[in-house]
Amino acid sequence: MTFARPFLLLLLILPVLLIWWEWRRRGEPLVLPLDHSQARPKPWLERIVKLFHLLPALLLAVSLALLAGPQRTATPKDERVLTNIEVVLDVSGSMMSPFGDGTRSDAAMKAIVDFTTYRKGDAFGLTIFGTEYVHWTPLTKDLSAIRLAAPFLRPEKMPPHMGGTRIGHALQAVGKKLRTREEGDRMVVLISDGESYDLSGGEAQRIGEELRADNIAVFYIHVAEGQPQEETFTLANLTGGQAFAADDPSALRDVFQRIDGMKPVKLKPSAPDQADWFWPFAMAGLGLTSLQVVGGLRFRFTPW
């Protein structure tokens, strides 16, 4: 046990001196005029009365201890290790193709929102891309920005320069963004339905090695029939991630759950904190106060 203001404990010398003085003092003896009386001395009763007279000094000691701020070490709790997750969403025109009951874009946004919900506590950012890219939201734990973005990210509302698919270009931009995050792990979840010409000619290998050097894992999700292009497998595997094919909304949900399992939440023990520990002193003070009240009614020196 420690104290937040230990210098106040020096004042405990006052109740100690009061206790010593109260126990040692004899007071002024008083002779009562009682005829034909032979009162025998009762030293045990005198000691009981003196003990009750010590209670104010003990209450003072308890009060000083409370003012000193008693503390004890609290049980350390596990602290979540932050994961910085950048979601990269294809908004090219092909994302308007039918996919389940809606479009590929609709299913992707719903899966993203669900993923951010059960990964609450991580930092999420959102980048949209086509031929060019836009960092739509910064990395943040406030996920409302991503959830409210869906109506504005429909492919039919995008300008013409977002009509293509340049995965490599978007990943390089996202890599620069994640490099600025010094705290926590780094991860990219990229969703697209097309093939990207800027991954050919060894570019996938080069980009994957750059991202791996920065400890950025890439998970690629192909939301269309068939398999992703070969270069996405190469790039994702180099970074420690994986490429997936999802040809319907249920498969897309399963993919996100698999990614969550592959990158589980990490916990680390936090440093123990000092917590206030007033309870035992407060109970001691309450008990002494109760004894003082009882003693004042029964055990006291006769004042006449």
Is the pLDDT assigned to residue 274 strictly greater than 90?
no
Residues 28, 223: Cα–Cα separation, whole Å: 99
Q: Are 62 and 97 in a shared domain?
A: no
Confidence at residue 133, expressed as pLDDT on a 0 to 100 scale: 92
Total structural domains within the chain: 2
Using CA atoms, how far residue 7 sits from 3, 11, 19, 255, 277, in Å, is 9, 8, 21, 60, 18
Tokens of 20: 């010593």
Confidence at residue 59, expressed as pLDDT on a 0 to 100 scale: 87
Q: Are 235 and 287 in a shared domain?
A: no
In a domain, 33, yes or no: no
Beta partners for residue 113, in sequence order: none
Is the pLDDT assigned to residue 79 strictly greater than 70?
no
CATH (domain of 162): 3.40.50.410
pTM of the model: 0.63
Element at 191 (helix H, strand E): strand 185-192
Q: Are 146 and 169 in a shared domain?
A: yes
In a domain, 37, yes or no: no
pLDDT tens track for 127-167: 999 999 999 988 888 888 888 888 888 888 888 888 889 99
Confidence at residue 304, expressed as pLDDT on a 0 to 100 scale: 44
Residues of 204-230 as b/e, b for ≥16 C-beta within 10 angstroms? beebbebbbeeebbbbbbbbbeeebbe
pLDDT confidence bin for 114, thresholds 50/70/90: confident
Q: Are 67 and 116 in a shared domain?
A: no
Domain that residue 48 falls in: 2-25+43-72+277-298
Residues 158, 89: Cα–Cα separation, whole Å: 13
In a domain, 238, yes or no: yes
Is the pLDDT assigned to residue 43 strictly greater than 90?
no
